[in-house]
Amino acid sequence: MAGKNLLIAAALVILSACSDNMFSPNGTPGDGNGSASTFPAPPLAPPVPVTGNPIDGASFWVNPVSDARLTADSWRATRPDDATQIDKIASHAQAQWFTGWSGDIRRDVDALVSAVTSAGAVPVLVAYNIPQRDCGKLSAGGATVYGYQAWISDFADGLAGRKSVVILEPDALANMDCLSAVDQTTRVNLLQYAVQVLRAQGGVVYLDGGNSSWRSASDQAGRLNRANVAAADGFAVNVSGFQYTSSTIAYGKSISARIGGKHFVIDTSRNGLGPSADNAWCNPSGRALGAAPTTSTDDSVVDAYLWIKSPGESDGACRGAPVAGAWWADYALGLAQRSAL
């Protein structure tokens, strides 16, 4: 056990040297506001057969130095009740985000995957660096086109054949109407390439499935088919969203029926009370933590409930919040206080 703890600590030291907020989107600017260059379609990868749940029974890693853990510990003596509430976040596994901040993405992914697998858990990572990310809005940024090809290849190399869940580019498909037809094709081609290189290195890959209040199931299914979802393990729904799990399952199943029965995962990090009355996406008030991460979903098409968005991290500079990805302790506290956990 001591050896495992030392390895985790060493990995976290390496990662923390790269960024003040090492696991979260930070809006690092790239060429996100301009037109992308073209990227040719890769050879079409063969389909991945739809069988059982590829992550069934997986245990997920709880970050011992998360913002939630550090906040709870700092409040323990002076704000014990609030610390107990923040413990609801700190005690559960959350996906680890990688964007453009890393100077050596292969090294940093390898360090995290090594730490998590040595602890007997399955890593859950988010790749979030697509060119023209978020159409230049609150989470703007991303790599250049060929910079992304190199970045995602190095990301995949960091997996080094070890089984890891990869949530690939949230919003990249649902939010591409702002792009020209040429740039949409480039994005789809890049996602096809990413799926191939990630799966070749042990990634269990879930493409962007949007959410039930955004695109129709038929529309989103068409976008997934363009990205060759057949070659992925499935898709991720409600990432950073607030839609109820019940409506999200119905939506995901409607998509699944249109794309060969592909499975999906659901982000339940902040959907405990569903969406706000105005269906706001940016730091809406009155929300709550949702179901804890697990692969026990009682549904054969839903591979897992995951906390893909880290509860308490801002959606962007709205409603008095800090920039996208920054820790907002007051918001986190509200999510926890209103939660059934």
Of 28-37, 64-73, 216-225, give the lowest mean pLDDT range: 28-37
Phi-psi region of 140 (alpha: psi -120 to 50; beta: other; left: phi over 0): beta
User: In the prediction, which pLDDT does 12 show?
Assistant: 52
CATH number at residue 137: 3.20.20.40
Comparing CA positions, the residue from 197, 8, 167 lying closest to residue 96 is 167
Give me the pLDDT at residue 35, please. Answer: 58
Q: Above 60 in pLDDT, residue 13?
A: no
Q: Which sequence positions are flagged as catalytic?
A: 134, 171, 315
Calculate the CA dihedral of residues 272, 273, 275, 281 and round it to 10 degrees.
Answer: -50
Q: What is the mean pLDDT of the chain?
A: 91
pLDDT for residue 15: 47
Domain that holds residue 91: 2-337
pLDDT tens for 254-299 read: 999 999 999 999 999 999 999 999 999 999 999 999 999 999 999 9
Q: How many domains does the chain have?
A: 1
Mean pLDDT computed over 17-35: 40
Residue 11 confidence (pLDDT) above 90:
no
Higher pLDDT, 5 or 339: 339
For Cα atoms 5, 7, 8, give the angle at the middle one, nearest 5 degrees: 65
Write out pLDDT tens, residues 134-179. Answer: 888 788 889 999 999 999 999 999 999 999 999 999 999 999 999 9
Which band of pLDDT confidence, cut at 50, 70 and 90, is reported for residue 100? Answer: confident
What is the per-residue pLDDT for 101? 78
Of residues 100 and 202, the one with the higher pLDDT is: 202
| pLDDT tens digit sequence for 49-84 | 999 999 999 999 999 999 999 999 999 999 999 999
Q: What is the pLDDT of residue 235?
A: 98
Whether the Cβ atoms of residue 229 and residue 235 lie closer than 8 Å to each other: yes
Of the pLDDT bands very low, low, confident and very high (cuts 50, 70, 90), residue 36 is low
Q: Tally Cβ neighbours within 10 Å of residue 296.
A: 9
Q: Which helix (H) or strand (E) holds 170?
A: none
For residues 224-237, average pLDDT: 98
Residue 14: the pLDDT is: 42
